[in-house]
Amino acid sequence: MGRLSLGDRSPGGIMSPAFSFQGLTLGYDRTPAVRDLRAEIAEGSLTAIVGPNGAGKSTLLKGVTGILKPLGGRVCFGSADRSGIGYLPQHSEIDRSFPISVVDLVAMGLWREIGPFGRVDGARRARVAETIAAVGLTGLEARPIATLSGGQMQRTLFARLLVQDAKVVLLDEPFAAVDSGTLVYLLKIIDRWHVERRTVLAVLHDHDTVRAHFPDTLMLARDLVAHGPTPEVLTAENQFRARQMCEACAETPHTCIRGAA
């Protein structure tokens, strides 16, 4: 239960955490959705967050970004800090009716660099255009995001993360509504982030994709089920236990309210 990930090690052999969860409890209206989580995310690690529906996966990412304040415990930043986080929210949380074009949405990745009213100079405009080309969206720059397909929208959001140049990338179900071609494309971007030693956490439901591309996995069922190398975490036994834990919570929610500050 809850073994810490070894993740990547520095040449000197000392693990450097990007951040750690120290008794972290998160929830809504004081009802915990993630309880007393203790785990360490190594700098440069590529980690899948898995678990049944309602296990607290999206809630955990919101806790890392700071959108959701802890009910108890904390997220403790080591080599990373919140200003270096890039976040791709779940599909359903993105307002596609917002009147913004592809190029302007991608340019929002510059926000931390230039501030909300900063000028996008020629060099930065070129960087945005190159990134749009790199994700295969040349020609769609002026399109309102409301008119994009699901896969085109995900490519646009990945382009924004690329422009942001984030050291920590949080992805909530990044492959929802994408076809196999776009999936391969987006996985290549994630693999590149890993080579560049960025720290990546992704909420995923497809365990085949997790096994093939994510060296580490953190399995949640509100409580931590397991965390470590993917082959050791994604076992039938852990999956069965996670389902049982979530079902127990759904059936008797009053018994699940513990650990809040």
Binding site for ligand ATP (CB under 6 A): 28, 33, 51, 53-59
Nearer to ligand ATP, 67 or 212 (CB): 67
Question: Per-residue b/e over 169-191, b at no fewer than 16 CB within 10 Å?
Answer: bbbbbbbeebeeebbebbeebbe
Q: Closest approach of Cβ 165 to ligand ATP, in Å?
A: 27
Q: Closest approach of Cβ 91 to ligand ATP, in Å?
A: 10
Residue (of 103, 109, 80, 23) closest to 201 by Cα position:
80
Q: Closest approach of Cβ 51 to ligand ATP, in Å?
A: 6
Nearer to ligand ATP, 71 or 106 (CB): 71
Nearer to ligand ATP, 137 or 249 (CB): 249
Q: Closest approach of Cβ 259 to ligand ATP, in Å?
A: 14
Nearer to ligand ATP, 167 or 227 (CB): 227
Q: Would you call 94 exposed, middle or buried from its count of C-beta atoms within 10 A (0-12, 13-18, 19+)? A: middle
Nearer to ligand ATP, 7 or 27 (CB): 27
Q: Closest approach of Cβ 184 to ligand ATP, in Å?
A: 23
